[in-house]
Amino acid sequence: MTRAEARGAPAATALRGLAAVVFDTDGVLIDSARLHAAAWKTAFDAYLRDHPPSDPSRRHPFDLDDDYPRLVDGRSRLDGAAAFLTSRGFEPDPATVRAVADAKERLFSARIDEGAVAAYPGAVRLLRALQEADVPRAAVSASRHARELLARTGLTDLLDVLVDGAEAARLRLPGKPDPALFLEAARRLRVRPGRTAVVEDAPAGVEAGRRGGFALVVGVDRAGTEAARGRLLEHGAHLVVGDLADLVDEAAPTRGGAQ
């Protein structure tokens, strides 16, 4: 499906005729992206306070609206930490990158222990509709917490495959915008990327979906802003929705066609 075709089709029918759907996890299926963003901000701002950049113009705190989607969202912890520190003029060594990433990990884990995560109702509706239509479903995530979060939010039984951060590390898969995570999920579902949809909220993830040759790349703009929508389209989204409920087709067809 071309981008023009996707834009011209109702969102609820965009998934028709596809063999499978691969979802990002944080910010797409689970309301956890905000927790990741807040943990990154605390970790990065602390580092900047202790190590002010030599260039005064780069000393401003981590920006949730700009830095998070542009440098961190959708990437592995180490890649995200390195990208941000580089953007502030540092030449970060591996030990520094890991120290900042580990600080973020501790902050995020504390929020999880507080029970501050939930599945998006629209995501549950869509997963159930696809399950009833016998359309295979996979989730991917650069986070090692994905399996735990999917279990806590009751989504595990609605998915056929999960490729999380632990699996990515074991298989040495590169992070987004490389399409390796999505391609591994499609391989495990035994479907071709050209017959599969990717659903993502991060520009890096959208770009990964396009690089991987997936038939349809759906961007999810939970912020509901023209800027966020524009970033997703610029990185290759065929279609942008505000909620996964927009993709639910009450008359969803059963799985069909060659894979």
What positions carry a catalytic annotation? 24, 26
CA pair distance 63, 172, nearest whole angstrom? 30
Residue by residue, DSSP assigns 38-104 as: HHHHHHHHHHHHHS--SSGGG-SPPPTTTHIIIIITTS-HHHHHHHHHHHTT----HHHHHHHHHHH
Beta strands 216-220; 20-24: pairing state: unpaired
The counts of H helices and E strands in the chain are 11, 6
Report whether 11 contacts 97 (CB < 8 A). Answer: no
